[in-house]
């Protein structure tokens, strides 16, 4: 694959085209050309990207291994052996401008819902709220749960993590390790401590009637009989659409402490 190098310059038209896609998708700081790449940043998050034209298509490089890993789990091919801009960890090649445009939006979404960023959002939204009574504590909890739900909708792209149901008002934000059991706000607001589920799966998961193994396969409680399973439409073939390494400690907790076994 032909890579951008310091000897290659982007044309004014290429710069304008790449800059428009980046700016539209939240990379709002003025882009800078660096050795044939357009360096793009945002005031909303620290992750950075570089854009260029290559082989009749486009490339997006990123300095966040976390974001690149998530893009790979979502089915994109991440090249980490390519010639990269300084500080970039990997690149994704795209054939069409529309694909680049959409990918920039996805990168921005994933950056905004990083665990630390959600905690910052929660602190900013609740710092003026009192917490001296149970009602006031519940109000703060509700704010946190709304932030968590919105983050899960963004992470799972508005679809049930198992069935693919895309009717967002019906979907439920399920904590894997329950809110009350979490040790701090980092756990409570971590997108990897949550699944976006259809209502019946949320009720079953929250109640410990089903869980998921480390491969994402659905596991039912031994207390859930075959008749109930059939009526609920739950099958052993069901599994999470994709699973990150960061999900696994929370799923282990769910299997050990939430799943009904007796």
Residue 176 and residue 211 in contact, taking contact as beta carbons nearer than 8 Å = no
What digits encode the pLDDT tens for the residues 70-117? Answer: 999 999 999 998 789 999 999 999 999 999 999 999 999 999 999 889
Query: Which part of the chain has CATH 3.90.1150?
Result: 12-112
169-215 pLDDT, tens per residue? Answer: 999 999 999 999 999 999 999 999 999 999 999 999 999 999 999 99
**CATH 2.60.120 at 12-112, yes or no:** no
**How much is the average pLDDT of 143-147?**
94
Residue 25 has pLDDT above 60, yes or no: yes
The side-by-side arrangement of strands in the sheet containing 78-79 is: 32-34, 37-40, 49-54, 57-62, 90-94, 78-79
**pLDDT of 2 higher than 50:** no
Q: Give the pLDDT confidence score for residue 127 in this predicted structure.
A: 86
Tell me: the pLDDT tens digits for 61-82? 999 999 999 999 999 999 998 7
CB neighbours of residue 83 within 10 Å? 16
How does residue 222 score in pLDDT terms, banded at 50, 70 and 90? very high
Distances (CA, A) of 146 to 42, 169, 180, 193, 255: 24, 13, 16, 15, 25
pLDDT score, position 132: 78
Q: Average model confidence (pLDDT) for the chain? A: 93
Instruction: Check pLDDT > 80 for residue 45.
Output: yes
* 76 in Cβ contact with 56 (< 8 Å): no
Q: Kindly report the backbone phi and psi dihedral angles of residue 190, in degrees, each rounded to the nearest multiple of 5, phi listed first.
A: -80, 120
Per-residue pLDDT at 3 exceeds 70: no
Instruction: Report the phi/psi class of residue 174: left, alpha or beta, with left for phi > 0 and alpha for psi in -120 to 50.
Output: beta
Residue 176's Cβ-side half-sphere holds a number of Cα atoms within 13 Å equal to 28
């Amino acid at each position: 694959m032909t890579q951008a190098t310091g000897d290659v310059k982007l044309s004014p038209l290429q710069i304008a085209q790449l800059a428009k896609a980046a700016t539209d998708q939240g990379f709002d700081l003025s882009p800078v050309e660096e050795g044939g790449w357009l360096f793009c940043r945002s005031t909303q998050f620290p992750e950075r990207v570089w854009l260029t034209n290559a082989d009749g298509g486009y490339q997006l490089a990123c300095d966040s291994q976390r974001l690149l890993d998530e893009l790979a789990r979502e089915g994109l091919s991440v090249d980490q052996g390519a010639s990269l801009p300084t500080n970039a960890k990997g690149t994704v090649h795209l054939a069409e401008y529309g694909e680049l445009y959409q990918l920039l939006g996805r990168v921005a979404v994933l950056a905004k819902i990083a665990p630390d960023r959600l905690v910052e959002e929660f602190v900013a939204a609740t710092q003026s709220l009192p917490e001296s009574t149970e009602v006031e504590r519940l109000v703060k909890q509700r704010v946190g749960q709304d932030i968590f739900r919105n983050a899960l909708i963004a992470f799972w792209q508005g679809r049930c993590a198992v069935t693919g149901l895309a009717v967002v008002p019906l979907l439920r934000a399920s904590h894997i390790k329950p809110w009350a059991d979490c040790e701090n706000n980092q756990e409570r607001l971590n997108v990897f401590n949550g699944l976006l589920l259809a209502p019946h799966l949320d009720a079953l998961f929250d109640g410990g009637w089903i869980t998921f193994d480390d491969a994402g396969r659905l596991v039912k409680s031994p207390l859930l009989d075959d008749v109930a399973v059939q009526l609920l439409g739950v099958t052993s073939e069901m599994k999470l659409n994709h699973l990150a390494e960061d999900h696994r400690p929370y799923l282990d907790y769910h299997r050990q402490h939430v799943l009904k076994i007796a």
